Amino acid sequence: MCDRGAYHLTNRAIMQAVSSGILRQRVSPMLAIVLISGVFFSNSALAKFPDSKPTTARPNILFVYTDDQSTWSIGAYGNPNTLTPNLDRFASQGMLFQNAFTTTPVCSPSRAGLLTSLYSTQIGISDWLNPTTEPHHGLSPAFLTWPELLKANGYQTFLAGKWHLGLDQEFHPSRSGFDEFFGFLGGGNTPINPTLEENGATGKKSGVLADLLTDKTLEFIRANKDRTWLAALHFREPHAPYVPTSIEDTKALAVLRLELPVVQGLQSDRVMQLRREYLTAVHAVDRNFGKLMTLIDDLKLTENTLVIFTSDHGYMIGEHGLIHKGNASYILKDKTTLRPNMFDNAIRVPLMIRQPGRIAPGMKAKHTMTQLDLFPTILRWVGLGTPQNLKIQGRDASALLGGNTVSGWDDSMFGQYDMKHPEGARMRMLRTNRWKLIRHFQEGLSDELYDLETDPDENRNLIGQESIAPVYRNLKNQLLERMKSICDPLAKLAIEQP
Ligand SMILES: [Ca+2]
């Protein structure tokens, strides 16, 4: 039985309690439960925070989120031909997730999923929000976010940078849990002299965007050093246009030796130039990330601050002969058409997490994590837990983060991508450690099946091979079950096209 509306209803009720101010004040979580249950819930539906501990025990959170950043752009992920000294040092001080993924490979739905721990069709945002064709669409404040739960429990919350979850005031970050916002609501901005919103007023600023956002984040941390805070810094970098950025970044990358993916017919000169520019933008992130780490050390907050670094999805510049993300195009001498995809290069994200004293240095996690898992993981880590009747899709990975062996952790993951700008694909994915199945529900596109063990680069689509037919059938059934479990609008089509 599909209960598509149920999570809306429950989550909205919790949200209303938060919005009403009951949970905004620094009341004890237990008092909040009593208030919520009396006002918004009948019978036994209680919004319990199972792990509540005194506020003073909770760590600060610095959440650094980049835009379109592939794992291959970071040295700690195994690429010697990039320049990320601060991120590499950071990786050695905490845990690096080797198999972290977004469940959808473009900006807005990935960001919405990260904040709500729901799949894109559950939220109603399944492609990047296009200001021309859907200027009044955004992340409804009816969906509860983890920053909102932190705020409700005494955290000072701040967001600097890119939102891309709605332009209208009803979708403003302040409606989804952020006390303060310094940034831009749309999907893009100029890397130099950007237009930014500050204290509700929008105007042109002078300087390098990555530096401006970082400086404001440093300011917030300094001002709140004696409180408990969440600082979210959503860089625009290394999203296109990659450059210009500071002279320092340009100089650093000018001399770096680069290597190209080996793909026949690649526009090699163009790819080389774009990779250098992209890595220049990555250097701007790394350089600013170093400033944040220095301040946290200087303020002696290192051990009491959980620092998370991740990106909204991956990116390709030449891999598979493509450029961009889920909505990539070929960058070949004889081919530049669109190639909607869910290759690992598009869905895999960097994910590195540090808190000295609680997370051992130099750890590498192999288990599959999705960004939907961060919601319950963060809340458990800070001692709150997820309200018991909140319906989210992510799993609590705090035990993994603590270095514990977790038995029975499911390494399979489900993904979705409906490409609407331009309309061209409806994709559903099931990825296991061994296999990846992508079903295409757009007319004219065929399914894809890869053996990740023998073909990790996903070059050989096995659909049509007789020997693989039972695997294909089995994966399709598993995928259908995932789709049905979240009332995916394409589930009916999947049943009709077995
Ligand atoms: Ca993006």
In a domain, 264, yes or no: yes
In a domain, 420, yes or no: no
CA distances for 116 relative to 148, 375, 384, angstroms: 10, 7, 16
Q: Helix or strand or coil: residue 122?
A: helix
Ligand 1 geometric centre to CA of 100 (Å) = 16
Do 212 and 166 belong together in one domain? yes
Ligand 1 geometric centre to CA of 312 (Å) = 5
CA distance 10 to 471: 38
Ligand 1 geometric centre to CA of 304 (Å) = 30
Ligand 1 geometric centre to CA of 128 (Å) = 9
Ligand 1 geometric centre to CA of 202 (Å) = 22
Ligand 1 geometric centre to CA of 203 (Å) = 23
In a domain, 50, yes or no: no
Across 468-486, average pLDDT: 97
Range of the structural domain that residue 492 is part of: 432-496
Across 36-55, average pLDDT: 39
Do 28 and 108 belong together in one domain? no
Do 377 and 468 belong together in one domain? no
CA distances for 237 relative to 19, 29, 80, 104, angstroms: 32, 38, 20, 19
In a domain, 84, yes or no: yes
Across 274-295, average pLDDT: 98
Instruction: Decide if 398 contacts 384 (C-beta within 8 A).
Output: no
Do 305 and 452 belong together in one domain? no
Q: What pLDDT does residue 8 have? A: 52
Strand partners, 430: 414, 437
Instruction: Decide if 423 contacts 147 (C-beta within 8 A).
Output: no
Closest among 394, 397, 390 to 112, alpha carbons compared = 394
Closest among 98, 130, 147, 109 to 364, alpha carbons compared = 98
Predicted confidence (pLDDT) at residue 45 exceeds the cutoff of 50: no
Do 148 and 214 belong together in one domain? yes
Ligand 1 geometric centre to CA of 325 (Å) = 8
Instruction: Decide if 440 contacts 449 (C-beta within 8 A).
Output: no
Q: What pLDDT does residue 120 have? A: 97
Ligand 1 geometric centre to CA of 27 (Å) = 37
Ligand 1 geometric centre to CA of 260 (Å) = 22
Ligand 1 geometric centre to CA of 242 (Å) = 13
Ligand 1 geometric centre to CA of 454 (Å) = 29
CA distance 159 to 150: 13
Ligand 1 geometric centre to CA of 419 (Å) = 14
Ligand 1 geometric centre to CA of 241 (Å) = 12
Question: In this structure, what is the dihedral angle of CA atoms 276, 277, 279, 283, given to the nearest 10 degrees?
Answer: 130
DSSP string, 243-311: ----HHHHHHHHT--------TTB-HHHHHHHHHHHHHHHHHHHHHHHHHHHHHHHTT-GGGEEEEEEE
CA distance 185 to 33: 33
Q: Please say which residue of 385, 401, 417 terminates a domain.
A: 401
Ligand 1 geometric centre to CA of 298 (Å) = 32
Ligand 1 geometric centre to CA of 50 (Å) = 34
Both tokens of 336, joined, read: 């530049």
Tokens 């609680």 found at: 358
Q: What pLDDT does residue 498 have? A: 81
Where residue 36 falls among pLDDT bands split at 50, 70, 90? very low
Where residue 347 falls among pLDDT bands split at 50, 70, 90? very high
Residue/partner pairs of 325-329 with CB below 8 Å, 24 or more apart: 325/68, 325/105, 325/106, 326/104, 326/105, 326/106, 326/417, 326/419, 327/106, 327/419, 327/421, 327/424
Ligand 1 geometric centre to CA of 79 (Å) = 21
Ligand 1 geometric centre to CA of 63 (Å) = 16
Ligand 1 geometric centre to CA of 244 (Å) = 18
Report which residue type is found at 23: L
In a domain, 412, yes or no: no
Sign of the C-alpha dihedral, residues 73, 79, 83, 88? positive
Do 393 and 484 belong together in one domain? no
Do 390 and 437 belong together in one domain? no
CA distances for 179 relative to 60, 157, 160, 197, angstroms: 15, 5, 11, 14
Do 318 and 454 belong together in one domain? no
Do 33 and 64 belong together in one domain? no
Give residue-wise pLDDT tens across range 395-410: 999 999 988 888 899 9
Do 368 and 224 belong together in one domain? yes
Predicted confidence (pLDDT) at residue 432 exceeds the cutoff of 80: yes
In a domain, 409, yes or no: no
In a domain, 178, yes or no: yes
Report which residue type is found at 188: G
- Where b means 16+ CB within 10 Å and e means fewer, 174-210 reads ebbbbbbbbbbbebbbebbebebbeeeeeeebeebbb
Backbone angles phi, psi at 384, to 5 degrees: -105, -45
CA distances for 230 relative to 114, 350, 401, angstroms: 15, 20, 19
Ligand 1 geometric centre to CA of 313 (Å) = 6
Both tokens of 266, joined, read: 């690649």
Do 478 and 379 belong together in one domain? no
Report which residue type is found at 63: F
Q: What is the mean pLDDT of the chain?
A: 91
Q: What pLDDT does residue 497 have? A: 85
Predicted confidence (pLDDT) at residue 374 exceeds the cutoff of 60: yes
Ligand 1 geometric centre to CA of 70 (Å) = 10
Ligand 1 geometric centre to CA of 372 (Å) = 16
Find all residues with CB under 8 Å of 341, minimum gap 6, and list them.
105, 320, 322, 326, 328
In a domain, 443, yes or no: yes
DSSP state of 320: G
Ligand 1 geometric centre to CA of 33 (Å) = 37
> Radius of gyration of the chain from Cα atoms?
22
Instruction: Decide if 211 contacts 237 (C-beta within 8 A).
Output: no
Ligand 1 geometric centre to CA of 417 (Å) = 14
Predicted confidence (pLDDT) at residue 315 exceeds the cutoff of 80: yes
Least confident stretch, 45-54, 125-134, 232-241: 45-54
CA distances for 18 relative to 15, 46, 61, 322, 474, angstroms: 5, 14, 20, 44, 43
Ligand 1 geometric centre to CA of 192 (Å) = 18
Closest among 365, 368, 367, 261 to 315, alpha carbons compared = 261
Query: What share of the chain has pLDDT > 70, as a percent?
Result: 89
Give residue-wise pLDDT tens across range 137-182: 999 999 999 999 999 999 999 999 999 999 999 999 999 999 999 9
Burial of 444 (0-12, 13-18, 19+ CB in 10 A): exposed
Ligand 1 geometric centre to CA of 226 (Å) = 33
Q: How many domains does the chain divide into?
A: 3
Q: What pLDDT does residue 406 have? A: 86
Predicted confidence (pLDDT) at residue 361 exceeds the cutoff of 60: yes
Do 239 and 127 belong together in one domain? yes
CA distance 291 to 154: 26
CA distance 76 to 473: 38
Strand 322-324 and strand 327-330: the pairing is: antiparallel
Ligand 1 geometric centre to CA of 311 (Å) = 8
Ligand 1 geometric centre to CA of 106 (Å) = 5
Ligand 1 geometric centre to CA of 75 (Å) = 20
Ligand 1 geometric centre to CA of 315 (Å) = 9
Q: How far apart are the two ends of the chain, measured CA to CA in Å?
A: 20
For residue 92, give the H/E element and its range. Answer: helix 85-93
